Structure 1
């Protein structure tokens, strides 16, 4: 643990990597490759201080505090290198003390594992301590996860205490009976100033989750079913307590089959209503329900949509009070239940007409000062401070100052027809000021496959649009957000349907005249990289160039990557067994790929091992194909380094232009 603390303990001035916003290739790659300047932000309970996790050069991050009552000079009090230590987030436990989550990668038993810890420190960077409890399991070694804060205890008299989960490992001490025999996940009340600890929930061997009412009382516990060998079985039982009662009662059971969940999944508890908010399926799509926690389990439908999943709660304040929910059709829509906030949302829409994506990021304890985010497809977004009593809105910082001089491209929701006649939703980004016809074009399938694209700013398509490409992002069948029927059996088991839709997106670009002949390429990250490679297996003549970032290339290899982890059974079921495993693996079908291939991969990727890209490159070379693999040292799946992302964008652009026969 000492290594992790030391990596983040040096307070130093940091700067944000900036670049001129010109349209030249190198300038554009640096500007769009730069990570978000503000990666996370929070406001102190008294509303007088702002804490921000900001990007530092390369992969680094810095915790910066601004005193809103003084000179407002940003002061850096904590840094991390990003290789591999990460400063994930920081929030206020009191008006002068912060709680931060950090993460790193360590090698244990020849496996590279993610480790997390929680720290606490003063607003000036002093008195930094580890908030995570004892993490040494005397039988199994250091605990991998350092727990998480689940309640900031905003009630009067709580002081700087928080509720946080803790993984208790089995202890063994020779010659004493004092060692702890309780194992599993428990909850402690921890004072962030003096580190005094009090057990709130005894460790439960199979507990996976606890949900509080936001006022210091644990009301819901999730118990994840596992086999005798510890392998997860895709079934979570939720239990609840009545007010003032310690007995656990059945609430719901959530099962997962090939990536599709069923059953009431609780997300939050409302103390005043004595009810849990959560999601469950309704007519094949997710809807928001409220279930009474008084013993009756009375169930009430709160919000649904006939076309898409309701997939997100809107909360406010330190107690994460539920005030609304949202869903994404062609654009995300938010429904606010709280009348004063509903009126406020309407006022903000009028005050920020060109930034329709507005969300409440954080609030002071009395909810009178709010930190807001606002953005659009052509605005990466900026953070604002809103003073509710005085009705004053002041900008704090832009998310991506490097793009201030860039003319960004509008994103248009469209649909196109798949080969079987199904209407596929998608987002089309055309270069600003272009005619929209006869352009070099890219299909950009999303990752996941359990994900979907949404309307708004996205640095990847915006970079390519700035370089003159039309970009189409299809929400192919296999995407989430449109219900279980659209999800199919997931994008691997139903790869022919999913990849067929991706290829039909390319055919649409050609048939509509948007794409010029012989200038159609495909670019993807993670599952999107898999889709980019597998698209050429399904139709070798469609795309002229393939760019795949951190791609899955072999389903059997992907299965093997999880063999020693507790989710092995879930991944095995998700991938499935049968002919599709070989037929749906690009590395097993290299001879069908005609287009040149460019791949990028970080060598610390835990999501998709770099061995998959190495295997793909080897198989393509063996088949006499043109392929290049760029490996980035010390980086994980997201390639979270501004310099590396700029390099990747520049190389991708040059590769595509060469394949299309275009100049720089």
Structure 2
């Protein structure tokens, strides 16, 4: 591992890109601040900020601004990546590190939890160390599921156990499965709290050190994960597990109560459940009565999130998305505060509670909008002062960003498809070069807010339309349908109809329409050309799926054949729905980007697509990024990608060069 103490930030020589990047590409490709957390006493902040390229640094800042930031931990991002930190007590910070290494001859992603003192000392690995005689390698280093009490050095962590070989041993540990330990982040002393259970997949605490919910997933006769999750609960001061609920899973659709968070004061568990095709928030009493209450539902959409605050993850409200994200606060004080905050930050209406001190007297907030990547703030309830901590993406401070408008357009069958339209600054919205940008997932959705890809292309003069095609989440079970893979005809049809709408409205010139997508969006960009080869004049696909059969083969060790077919369909779907199998019909040039260590979608998918297109004499370019995975977490690489994509689109759409 490359993580180390920091007395200085090393200067690293980086190879210059083959083509000088534009200032806009550098600014929009810059990585945002990764994380901000506050100590239990509210006196110190820990900021995880990006360094040049793919590195990151953890710095400690006094909340009153009385001292310069002190760097305490750094990662160069080449062998490991920091992606979140929090305070275990007033002097100790715990961070999660992600690595990709060769494990049993295969590149695999794995995580470990680290702890470091607020002055940079005592760096230790908090995750349980593996043993050479274990029958396998544990990829997940464990999650902290409870931060304990103020001033204590211990946290609750889940841990996956593997049995040891019995050869030549009489006392080999044969435990297997997920358990919970109480871990001292200084001494690394570990005490078992929950024994490992082979089919356990999650534990939920009350935020005060007590495990109250256990989730299990029974396996099938073939050893695959089963098609249900069983939830169990404990009464206060009891060790007995009692049945709470069962969540059945059919393909990508789940039914039944899914527990999420325990409120010890009310002695209830909050969770979600789909009723009449829409998810709502419910709570169930944990006193043995099993009383179930509807907390909140919103007609027409899924209520998809609990708002939680502080170290104990206290539930204070719910949120959901229509054209924009909305929220309702249960806590009277926070309800008043949210109203006051809306007046104080009228240009940044999307506010997230990031963290709080132990007594919740100091809150860390993130406020964003469609034209603001966001700023972190510290609010002091006693002084009523709101102070800025750091901008999310400081490099964009001098750029005029484009408002995002919620619209809908008709699909070919008349269904209204919700979408977001972003026009270039100052544009009249007519006769523009335009991009349809389908989201990834496909089990996801776009929301109103800041999007660095859409904003970059809008800044470069393109209209950008982001459709929430059928197969997107948040609109209920019927809209989700059979998934964007198995039911690709409907999803791709909606995406192509988005392009036709841009032309029909006069927003896009027919000869200047392109499609850009990442992950599933990259698949959609390619498959759109199979359905209608003449519609889009240029295709950019980042980390795309290109063959559904190959993707199923990659996942077959984790999912049962029935689950795979429910998600991806049968052989006929793979044949018709795989763009790599239809390279002969492509008319538009294709540009592919892919990290060669992608853990979500193998780089072989893009290599296959490029090979098939070249074999048919089609125009294609594949740009591979060494040592990077699906998210391409490298500011220089992202800037290079934006610049190369813009030049490719300008060449294909016959546009003049961008302003420097």
- What is the CA distance between 1:564 and its match in structure 2? 3.4
Range 650-659 or range 164-173, more displaced: 164-173
Partner of 2:213: 220
- What is the CA distance between 1:561 and its match in structure 2? 1.3
Give the count of matched residue pairs: 651
**Cα deviations across residues 5-59 of structure 1 (Å, max 9, x unaligned)?**
x444555327999xxxxxx9711111101111x1111000011100011101101
Q: Does 1:602 align with 2:595?
A: yes
Cα distance in structure 1, aligned partners of 2:562 and 2:99: 26
Distance 1:496 1:230, change over 3 A: same
Q: Does 1:31 align with 2:37?
A: no
- What is the CA distance between 1:174 and its match in structure 2? 5.1
Could you tell me whether the CA contact under 8 Å between 1:15 and 1:57 is conserved in 2? no
Partner of 2:98: 103
Cα distance in structure 1, aligned partners of 2:270 and 2:12: 40
- What is the CA distance between 1:489 and its match in structure 2? 0.1
Q: Does 1:360 align with 2:356?
A: no
Of 368, 373, 385, which residue of structure 1 is paired with 2:366? 373
Distance 1:292 1:611, change over 3 A: same
Q: Does 1:62 align with 2:44?
A: no
Cα distance in structure 2, aligned partners of 1:296 and 1:170: 39
Partner of 2:16: none
- What is the CA distance between 1:214 and its match in structure 2? 0.4
Of 583, 586, 592, which residue of structure 1 is paired with 2:585? 592
**Cα deviations across residues 351-376 of structure 1 (Å, max 9, x unaligned)?**
11111011111000010000111110
Q: Does 1:288 align with 2:285?
A: no
Cα distance in structure 1, aligned partners of 2:4 and 2:561: 33
Q: Does 1:411 align with 2:404?
A: yes
- What is the CA distance between 1:261 and its match in structure 2? 1.6
- What is the CA distance between 1:256 and its match in structure 2? 2.2
Partner of 1:20: none
Of 423, 432, 449, which residue of structure 2 is paired with 1:439? 432
**Cα deviations across residues 150-206 of structure 1 (Å, max 9, x unaligned)?**
00012x6x6121011111110235555433222211111112222222111111111
Q: Does 1:240 align with 2:233?
A: yes
Of 387, 395, 420, which residue of structure 2 is paired with 1:394? 387
Give the 3-state SS of the residue equivalent to 2:22 in structure 1. helix
Distance 1:593 1:223, change over 3 A: same
Question: RMSD of the alignment, in Å?
Answer: 1.8
Q: Does 1:524 align with 2:517?
A: yes
Could you tell me whether the CA contact under 8 Å between 2:100 and 2:110 is conserved in 1? yes
Structure 1-normalised TM-score?
A: 0.95
Give the 3-state SS of the residue equivalent to 2:551 in structure 1. helix
Q: Does 1:12 align with 2:12?
A: no
Of 611, 619, 642, which residue of structure 2 is paired with 1:618? 611
Partner of 1:125: 120
**Cα deviations across residues 503-535 of structure 1 (Å, max 9, x unaligned)?**
000001000000123000000000000000001
Cα distance in structure 2, aligned partners of 1:398 and 1:16: 25
Q: Does 1:323 align with 2:316?
A: yes
Give the 3-state SS of the residue equivalent to 2:93 in structure 1. strand
Q: Does 1:77 align with 2:72?
A: yes
Cα distance in structure 1, aligned partners of 2:557 and 2:52: 36
Give the 3-state SS of the residue equivalent to 1:323 in structure 2. strand
Could you tell me whether the CA contact under 8 Å between 1:77 and 1:124 is conserved in 2? yes
Partner of 2:649: 656
Cα distance in structure 2, aligned partners of 1:206 and 1:140: 18
Distance 1:79 1:11, change over 3 A: farther
Could you tell me whether the CA contact under 8 Å between 2:21 and 2:639 is conserved in 1? no
Distance 1:368 1:376, change over 3 A: same
Could you tell me whether the CA contact under 8 Å between 1:221 and 1:238 is conserved in 2? yes
Distance 1:10 1:395, change over 3 A: closer
Distance 1:69 1:393, change over 3 A: closer
Partner of 1:383: 376
Distance 1:98 1:568, change over 3 A: farther
Q: Does 1:41 align with 2:36?
A: yes
Cα distance in structure 1, aligned partners of 2:45 and 2:623: 39
Could you tell me whether the CA contact under 8 Å between 2:5 and 2:121 is conserved in 1? no
Cα distance in structure 1, aligned partners of 2:389 and 2:227: 43
Could you tell me whether the CA contact under 8 Å between 1:219 and 1:240 is conserved in 2? yes
**Cα deviations across residues 65-121 of structure 1 (Å, max 9, x unaligned)?**
112346331111111122231112110011111111111012122222111111111
Cα distance in structure 2, aligned partners of 1:47 and 1:346: 23
Cα distance in structure 1, aligned partners of 2:365 and 2:103: 41
Correspondence list, 1:393-542, <5 A: 393-542=386-535
Correspondence list, 1:278-357, <5 A: 278-357=271-350
Q: Does 1:556 align with 2:586?
A: no
Q: Does 1:195 align with 2:188?
A: yes
Which ranges of structure 1 fall in alignment gaps of 5 or more residues? 18-23
Cα distance in structure 2, aligned partners of 1:226 and 1:137: 28
Q: Does 1:277 align with 2:270?
A: yes
- What is the CA distance between 1:134 and its match in structure 2? 3.0
- What is the CA distance between 1:570 and its match in structure 2? 3.7
Give the 3-state SS of the residue equivalent to 1:589 in structure 2. helix
Partner of 2:83: 88
